[in-house]
């Protein structure tokens, strides 16, 4: 019988030696890696069929889990079990070694991006009519299942699954729709950008924009995709049609330092992208050719970079509905700051201690004024601010630190999960007018209940039971009555086409 690597090697047409370890020898993890892992994970650990095996890319995988995956394989993927071929000491040495920094810092050039580019169906070649029937194409949901790296497409009226397909390893951040809702773009932590045609249920194009990516944004007009990387320190601009590389942009500050990109966002009223930079006190705005203004720096072609000097290192952004003000978290838990992007000045400091999760913030009308609400990752609290003068309205105590908040313009309630700590199976329902918790649900004792997304009308909602043997709950948004369940593998985010393409006030953008 062939060893797992030999099988994969045979499939790929490669001849690979079988490892042999004399008794008493200390395992040599580098050699083991070359013999067993490099064919799928790349000679330089940058990934291939399998994910990149570099310390930063593995930060979400516990060491014990790595040992388990090497020994037992990973179900529903091509990762085979090495338990019969390798001894415990060899598995342990391998698991240890992949968390070590490589001797040579990995690089990802334009040539690497171009070489990774895959076009399965060129733009314009697939039919324009959906291959399935639903009542409302704008009420579809995309659900990311991180348990086995799959994505489901759901009919939001009948709560039925239309398709389920494998994704790249470890998607992160919200998938982003084209303005008409036909295409959806995904970003993976390993740097892959994937374009999926919802009407034809097909992946149309893919490209690897970096080694360690944060997230992607799609321009409001649907023409461009921007990816923000931790490694290398670049922004990668793509043509949305086939994900062709337009340019990779080195992120270098006025002080000469290069920076990781924390996240990229699209700013529809400004016709631009905005990038949050982790290591330099600047906010970058990238404008497309027609929007270029005097004083902008030339980027590539006629794209322009508008560099705004920020009062601090700002991270994890939240924008007001007009995209004039940006709320950023200052470095080291020093609170939040409001930055006016028109005047390019700081206009307020916000008492946001610890780690506010600004990306999860939502807004609504309260007594004729607009408020924003933010959960905190290390505090059982939701902070509510008045956006007209940035004063603190209240801080709502919760049963533990939360990660995601959601509501809908038509719903009287805002939902916040208790993601961390002993009460992670709870989810709170907040009355948007009294600002009080009116209900706390525990759908499945002991299992994390998190991340809500409403249907387009705000009448029903989906809630994740965040577990490998988890499921989606479908609830009446007003009575909170359970309407259905659908088994899923650790369902994380859910994204309704209408709410996302309309920039609904109660959801992330
Ligand atoms: Fe996320 C969105 C940053 C850890 C699941 N996360 C985002 C966004 C940012 C961010 C900036 C908004 C980008 C977007 O949607 O395009 N996340 C961070 C971190 O800095 C942090 C704390 C540490 C890290 O390792 O990156 C972090 N995030 C996590 C997780 O551990 C989660 C729970 C599981 C996972 O998949 O990694 C997680 N993040 C998510 C999800 C979204 C997200 C599901 C999209 C939320 C939405 O509803 O739009």
Q: What string of DSSP letters covers 227-279?
A: EEEEESSEEEEEETTTTEEEEEEE-B-TTS-B--EEEEEEEGGGTEEEEEESS
The phi and psi torsions of 316 (rounded to 5 degrees) equal 45, 90
Give distance in angstroms: CA of 404 to centre of ligand 1: 9
Distance CA 321, CA 251 (A): 27
In the predicted model, what is the mean pLDDT of residues 84-90? 92
Q: Give the per-residue pLDDT at 4.
A: 52
Q: Please give the pLDDT value at position 198.
A: 98
Which CATH homologous superfamily contains domain 355-509? YVTN repeat-like/Quinoprotein amine dehydrogenase (2.130.10.10)
Give one DSSP letter per residue of 124-192, joined into a string: T-S-SS-SS--S-GGGEEEEEETTTTEEEEEETTTTEEEEEEE--SSB-S--EE-TTSSEEEEEBTTSE
* Phi, psi for residue 332 in degrees, rounded to 5: 70, 30
Instruction: Please tell me if the CB atom of residue 227 comes closer than 6 angstroms to any atom of ligand 1.
Output: no
Residue 329 has pLDDT above 60, yes or no: yes
Lowest mean per-residue pLDDT among 13-17, 26-30, 117-121, 137-141: 13-17
- pLDDT level of residue 175 (50, 70, 90 thresholds): very high
What is the residue-averaged pLDDT of the chain? Answer: 91
Fold: same for 4-97 and 355-509: no
β-partners of residue 56 are: none
Alpha-carbon gap, residue 327 to 421, rounded angstroms:
27
- 134-146 pLDDT, tens per residue? 999 999 999 999 9
Contacts of 314 (CB under 8 A, 6+ apart): 276, 277, 281, 283, 326, 328, 329, 330, 337, 339
| Structure tokens given for 468 | 């490998």
pLDDT of residue 314: 86
pLDDT for 59 equals 75
Task: Identify the pLDDT of residue 8.
Answer: 47
Q: How far is the CA of 340 from the centre of ligand 1 (A)?
A: 25
Q: What is the pLDDT of residue 74?
A: 83
CA nearest neighbour of 79 among 13, 152, 166: 166
Please answer whether residues 60 and 170 qualify as being in contact, where contact means their C-beta atoms are separated by less than 8 angstroms.
yes
Confidence tier at 77 by pLDDT (50, 70, 90): confident
Hey, which of 143, 173, 217 would you mutate to test ligand 1's pocket, going by the most ligand atoms within 8 Å of its Cβ? 173
Question: Which tens digit of pLDDT belongs to each residue from 391-417?
Answer: 999 999 999 999 999 999 999 999 999
C-alpha closest to that of 182 among 231, 220, 114, 128: 128
Ligand 1 pocket check for 9: Cβ under 6 Å: no
Asked if residue 504 has its Cβ within 6 Å of ligand 1, the reply is no
pLDDT reported for residue 6: 46
Ligand 1 near 200 CB (within 6 A): no
What's the pLDDT score for residue 490?
95
* Pick from 223-232, 294-303, 427-436: least confident: 294-303
Two tokens, residue 233: 């320190």
pLDDT reported for residue 293: 77
Of 386, 343, 338, 332, the C-alpha closest to 358 is 338
Residue 249 CA to ligand 1 center (angstroms) comes to 23
Integer distance in angstroms from the first to the last C-alpha of the chain?
Answer: 51
For the Cβ of 403 lying below 6 angstroms from any atom of ligand 1, the answer is yes
Q: What pLDDT does residue 48 have?
A: 76
**Predicted pLDDT at 319:** 95
Non-local CB neighbours of 268 within 8 Å, separated by 6+ positions: 220, 323, 503
pLDDT at residue 112 in the model: 96
Residue with CA at minimum distance from ligand 1 atom 35: 172
Quick one: average pLDDT of 36-42? Answer: 87
Three-state DSSP state, 30 = helix
Residue 244: pLDDT over 80: yes
Rounded to an integer, the average pLDDT of 79-103 is 91
Helix (H) or strand (E) holding 494: strand 491-496
Ligand 1 center to residue 490 CA distance, Å? 15
Residue 66: the pLDDT is 92
Q: Which of 168, 49, 167, 57 is nearest to 106 (CA)?
A: 57
DSSP 281: S
Residue 21's pLDDT is what?
46
From ligand 1's centre to the CA of 44, what distance in Å?
A: 27
Mean pLDDT, residues 333-357 taken together: 88
Which strands, in side-by-side order, build the sheet including 202-208? Answer: 118-119, 202-208, 192-197, 183-187, 176-177
CA–centroid distance, 172 to ligand 1, in Å, is 6
Average of per-residue pLDDT across 474-500: 97
User: Does the C-beta of 215 come closer than 6 Å to ligand 1?
Assistant: yes
189, pLDDT greater than 50: yes
Picking from 129, 210, 137, the residue whose alpha carbon sits closest to that of residue 172 is: 210
Q: Would the pLDDT of 326 be above 50? A: yes
Rounded distance, CA 356 to CA 349, Å? 13
CA dist., res. 70 & res. 67, Å (int): 5
What is the per-residue pLDDT for 18?
Answer: 40
Taking CA atoms only, the protein residue closest to ligand 1 atom 47 is 174
Confidence category of residue 104, pLDDT binned at 50, 70, 90: confident
435, exposed or middle or buried, with CB in 10 Å at 0-12, 13-18, 19+? middle
Ligand 1 atom with least separation from CA of 265: 16
Nearest CA to ligand 1 atom 4: 172
Q: Which pLDDT does position 162 carry in this prediction?
A: 98
**Predicted confidence (pLDDT) at residue 248 exceeds the cutoff of 60:** yes
Which one-letter DSSP state was computed for residue 463? E
Q: Is 509 helix (H, G, I), strand (E, B) or coil?
A: coil
Q: How does residue 418 score in pLDDT terms, banded at 50, 70 and 90?
A: very high
- Please tell me if the CB atom of residue 359 comes closer than 6 angstroms to any atom of ligand 1: yes
- Domain range list for the chain: 4-97, 355-509
Q: Whose CA is nearest to atom 42 of ligand 1?
A: 173
Instruction: Specify the residue with its C-alpha closest to ligand 1, atom 14.
Output: 173
Which of 37-51, 70-84, 107-121, 280-294 is modeled with the greatest confidence?
A: 107-121
Give nearest CA residue, ligand 1 atom 29.
172
How many C-beta atoms surround the C-beta of residue 361 within 10 A? 21
Q: Are 271 and 222 in contact (CB under 8 A)?
A: no
Q: Distances in Å between the alpha carbon of 117 and those of 249, 293, 444, 447, 475? A: 18, 32, 42, 39, 41
366, with CB counted inside 10 A (0-12, 13-18, 19+), is: middle
The pLDDT of 39-51, averaged and rounded, is 82
* CA distance linking residue 509 with residue 504, whole number of Å: 8
- Higher per-residue confidence, 362 vs 62: 362
Q: Select from 61, 359, 408 the residue to mutate for testing ligand 1; criterion: most ligand atoms less than 8 Å from CB.
A: 359
> Do residues 325 and 341 touch, judged by C-beta distance below 8 A?
yes
pLDDT of 457: 97
Q: Is the pLDDT of residue 15 over 70?
A: no
Task: State mean pLDDT over 237-255.
Answer: 95
Q: What is the mean pLDDT of residues 282-305?
A: 82
The whole-number pLDDT of residue 52 equals 84
Ligand 1 within 6 A of 263 CB? yes
* The CATH fold of domain 4-97: Cytochrome Bc1 Complex; Chain D, domain 2 (1.10.760)
Residue 366 has pLDDT above 90, yes or no: yes
pTM higher than 0.85, yes or no?
yes
């Amino acid at each position: 019988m062939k060893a797992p690597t030999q099988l994969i090697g045979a499939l790929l047409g490669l001849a690979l030696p079988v490892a042999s370890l004399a008794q008493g020898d200390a395992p040599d993890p580098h050699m083991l890696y070359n013999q067993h892992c490099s064919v799928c994970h790349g000679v330089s650990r940058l990934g291939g069929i399998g994910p990149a095996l570099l310390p930063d890319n593995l930060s979400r995988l516990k060491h014990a889990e790595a040992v388990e995956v090497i020994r037992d394989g990973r179900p529903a993927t091509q990762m085979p079990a090495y338990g019969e071929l390798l001894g415990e000491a060899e598995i342990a040495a391998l698991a240890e070694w992949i968390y070590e920094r490589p001797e040579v810092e990995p690089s990802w050039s334009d040539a690497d991006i171009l070489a990774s580019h895959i076009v399965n169906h060129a733009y314009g070649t697939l039919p324009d009519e959906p291959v399935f029937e639903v009542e409302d194409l704008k009420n579809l949901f995309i659900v990311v299942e991180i348990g086995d790296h799959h994505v489901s497409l759901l009919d939001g009226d009948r709560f039925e699954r239309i398709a389920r397909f494998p994704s790249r390893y470890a998607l992160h951040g919200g998938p982003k729709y084209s303005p008409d809702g036909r295409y959806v773009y995904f970003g993976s932590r390993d740097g892959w950008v994937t374009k999926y045609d919802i009407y034809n249920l097909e992946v149309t194009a893919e490209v690897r924009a970096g080694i360690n990516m944060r997230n992607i944004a799609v321009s409001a007009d649907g023409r461009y995709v921007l990816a923000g990387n931790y490694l290398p320190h670049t922004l990668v601009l793509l043509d949305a049609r086939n994900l062709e590389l337009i340019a990779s942009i080195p992120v270098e500050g006025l002080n000469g330092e290069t920076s990781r990109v924390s996240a990229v966002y699209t700013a529809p009223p400004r016709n631009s992208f905005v990038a949050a930079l982790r290591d330099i006190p600047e906010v970058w705005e990238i404008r497309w050719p027609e929007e270029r203004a005097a004083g902008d720096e030339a980027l590539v072609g006629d794209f322009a970079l508008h560099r705004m000097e920020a009062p601090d290192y700002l991270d994890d952004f939240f924008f007001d509905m007009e995209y004039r003000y940006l709320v950023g978290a200052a470095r080291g838990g020093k609170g939040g700051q409001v930055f006016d992007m028109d005047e390019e000045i700081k206009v307020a400091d916000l008492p946001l201690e610890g780690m506010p999760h600004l990306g999860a913030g939502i807004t609504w009308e309260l007594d004729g004024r607009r408020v924003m609400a933010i959960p905190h990752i290390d505090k059982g609290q939701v902070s509510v601010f008045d956006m007209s003068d940035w004063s603190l309205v209240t801080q709502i105590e919760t049963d533990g630190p939360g990660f995601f908040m959601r509501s809908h313009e038509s719903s009287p309630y805002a939902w916040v999960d208790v993601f961390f700590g002993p009460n992670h199976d709870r989810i709170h329902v907040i009355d948007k007018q009294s600002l009080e918790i009116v209900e706390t649900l525990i759908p499945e004792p002991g299992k994390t209940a998190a991340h809500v997304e409403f249907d387009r009308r705000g009448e029903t909602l989906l809630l994740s039971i965040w577990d490998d043997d988890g499921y989606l709950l479908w609830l009446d948004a007003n009575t909170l009555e359970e309407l259905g369940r659908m088994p899923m593998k650790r369902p994380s985010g859910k994204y309704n086409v209408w709410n996302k393409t309309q920039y609904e006030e109660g959801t992330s953008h």
